[in-house]
Amino acid sequence: MNYHKNLKSQVLRCLNEYPETRNCDIELTTRIWKVFYASFVKVNDRGIELINLEDLKELPREDNVKRVRAKIQNHKEKPRYLPTDPLVRQKRFISEEQLRKSLGYSPELREI
Q: How many CB atoms lie within 10 A of CB 32?
A: 23
Residues 107, 21: Cα–Cα separation, whole Å: 25
Q: Are 66 and 26 in contact (CB under 8 A)?
A: no
pLDDT for residue 1 = 43
In a domain, residue 92? The reply is: yes
Q: How many CB atoms lie within 10 A of CB 28?
A: 23
Angle made by CA atoms 27, 84, 66, in degrees to the nearest 5: 40
In a domain, residue 53? The reply is: yes
Q: What is the pTM of this model?
A: 0.74
In a domain, residue 47? The reply is: yes
Q: Are 73 and 80 in contact (CB under 8 A)?
A: yes
In a domain, residue 58? The reply is: yes
In a domain, residue 112? The reply is: no
In a domain, residue 98? The reply is: yes
- When divided into structural domains, the chain yields a total of 1
pLDDT tens, residue by residue, 12-71: 999 999 999 999 999 999 999 999 999 999 999 999 999 999 999 999 999 999 999 989
Instruction: Give me the domain span that covers residue 33.
Output: 7-73+81-102
pLDDT tens, residue by residue, 1-14: 445 679 999 999 99
